[in-house]
Amino acid sequence: MQAPARPPVAEKASRHGGGVFYVAAVRVGVDTGGTFTDVVAADGRIAKVPSTRRDPSSAVGEAVAAMGGATAVAHGTTVATNAVLEHRGGRVALITTAGFADVIEIARQNRPSLYDPFADRPAPLVPRDLRYEVAGRLDAQGRELEPPEPAPEIPEDVEAVAVCLLHADLNPGHERALGAALRDAGHDVTCSSEISPEFREYERTITTVLNAYLRPPCRNYLDRLAGLAPEVTVMTSAAGLIPLSEGAERPAALMLSGPAGGVLAAAAAAAGAGFADAVTFDMGGTSTDVCLVLDGRPAPAAQRSIGGFPLRLPALDIHTIGAGGGSIAAVDPGGALRVGPHSAGAEPGPACYGRGGTEPTVTDADLVCGRIPAGAAFPGLGRLDRAAAERALAGAGVDAAGVIAVVDEAMVQAVRSVSVARGSDPRQLALVAFGGAGPLHACALADALGMPAVVVPPRAGVLSAVGILAAPRQADLVRSWAGATDLAGLDEALRDLAEQAAGALDAGAEVDGEVEVEVALDCRYAGQSHEITVPDLAGFPAEHERRNGYARPEAPVEVVALRATSRLASPTPLAALPPAAGSRRPATGPAVLSEPDCTVWVPEGWRAEVHSNGSWIIRRCQP
């Protein structure tokens, strides 16, 4: 008899019981969270391993090994975000046009907290003695007024240099010359025209500095991932995959790396279940992320804030709060119960994990209140210790039901911020719950906001990893438009940008397929200081009225920026994933529905039905 063909294998065969067996390597998606690192394989297998805070790459390697190796790894990371929040970036020098060295400190006139006179802005990422000014000037149309002078001498202990010259978004010539000279001298350089070629000097300068600041830690981290598989890509904040080398050059684009994957998968799952309009609700171990989805598309954001710094790069409009399963509950000096933003993380973790944690957390409260079944086991942790959870709550003088009520209210406000504050009525939106803790709290949020249904997709506990696996290769380009109301040449400029976006993707790198390109415009009425991104000029008045409650048909419309996004579909789309393990059956609350990757709480008065796409649809019972 002819021996069966050996399947494709990981680089190393595995030995077990004295023999050798070969495990077929597959494409995998890996998402690093504050508590767990999740992995999903293209063949449907999932795994969770505790995150390793000191070196997140260690848990990523363990997650890939749990799958028996991989032919390709798509990764969502928190390294860039943590480096900013924990001030662990590189030592950066900044070069600006003469007179603009203090832009990063002057900032805008708005205060961080309007009614708190003692609130401070974050300390500048570049100290004053490392800010250099150079002669040379462009006018507001990008025309040269004064030629540039040579690059200054930069101290040897500087790890990265940020270059941001006035009006370089319109004419990058001066910046390119200066950047080339600095690179020839051996410096790691980020030019604003390469990372964020948009107007508004303060935001463009900060974005350039952030990218330079993140390069040393992010490059080191991404380099450690390069050997995990023949192909390794990383997720951007705009929900697209890029090569590791590009991620190392543009780490500021990775701020919402993991959450973006979850939003992508949640939006697709909701649309598949008949809810094109929804709010995604991702509650993990350390934070909760919410995002508005309209007509099946997650809302975009041209600018976000991280650690108090504006970041002007394409991203999904995800709102994050410090509330998760590991959020610590405590009574403050005024006697009020507070939950978060501090988290027990993976080490020591909630008290019920049995890893030495003694402070009460949301997970402890969920366990004591019966939302997590007694005797439940979490991956890599074993059975949860209810007695330890009760001791932690009692020792801090807090009530489990009170902890849940406080954290639920914080998340209700987060959902309002992306729905009501964006002009959308939550009563017309479904709530898509995922993450390890999201399905435990979703019905309470939906009830408080009058939302008609909760959708819990298959593999909800690892949905961000699912979305990362199914994400497209993507390139996002933007270009300032100096013409304002003068639109001559606009169509040609859009076509040119679309061609550049298409060319930015190497279609042969992963799969054969057609590159899709979308273009958009940033528009505003003349005299306004804020803009809206729309597919075309014709759609601007209606979108302005939806968001702001009015339109001005007679007012001229200004174009301030052009955008183009190219996408190459993933070889592992959501529809190609095998059905999730186990079977889902209808249930009427109160009920606890346990799955390998999450637990779902169905309160009294609610009923969970199973949609044909595998999602649970949870609605209030009809009287």
For 50-102, what is each residue's pLDDT tens digit? 888 888 999 999 999 999 999 999 999 989 988 998 889 999 999 999 999 99
Tell me the three-class secondary structure of 136-186, residue by residue: CEECCCCCEEECCCCCCCCCCCCCEEEEECCCCCCCCHHHHHHHHHHHHCC
| CA–CA separation, 252 and 444 (whole Å) | 35
Q: Which two tokens stand for residue 313?
A: 């790069």
What is the per-residue pLDDT for 509?
53
Q: Which two tokens stand for residue 80?
A: 């860039």
What is the per-residue pLDDT for 343?
85
Amino acid, single-letter form, for residue 186 = G
Residues 6+ apart with CB under 8 A from 201: 100, 103, 164, 166
Q: C-alpha dihedral over 331, 337, 339, 342, to 10 degrees?
A: -20
Residues 6+ apart with CB under 8 A from 589: 443, 602, 603, 604, 605, 606, 607, 608
What is the per-residue pLDDT for 11?
39
| CA–CA separation, 423 and 417 (whole Å) | 10
**Please, are residues 69 and 9 in contact by the beta-carbon 8 Å criterion?**
yes
Amino acid, single-letter form, for residue 383 = R
Beta-strand (E) ranges in 467-512? Answer: 473-484
Rg value, the chain, Cα: 25
| CA–CA separation, 294 and 285 (whole Å) | 27
**Please, are residues 388 and 348 in contact by the beta-carbon 8 Å criterion?**
no
**Please, are residues 471 and 239 in contact by the beta-carbon 8 Å criterion?**
yes
Classify strands 189-191 and 160-164 as parallel, antiparallel or unpaired: parallel
**Please, are residues 30 and 75 in contact by the beta-carbon 8 Å criterion?**
yes
Whole-prediction pTM:
0.89
For residue 247, give the 3-state DSSP assignment: helix
| CA–CA separation, 359 and 361 (whole Å) | 7
Per-residue model confidence as pLDDT tens digits over 156-195? 999 999 999 999 999 999 999 999 999 999 999 999 999 9
| Angle CA 144–145–148, to nearest 5 | 75
Question: How many C-beta atoms surround the C-beta of residue 152 within 10 A?
Answer: 13
Residues of the chain with pLDDT under 70: 1-24, 379-381, 506-512, 623
For residue 548, give the 3-state DSSP assignment: helix
**Please, are residues 432 and 263 in contact by the beta-carbon 8 Å criterion?**
no
Closest CA to 596 of 613, 585, 616, 582: 582
Q: Angle, to 10 degrees, between the axis of helix 56-66 and the axis of helix 201-225?
A: 50
User: Is the previous residue joined to 590 through a cis bond, with omega within 30 degrees of 0?
Assistant: yes
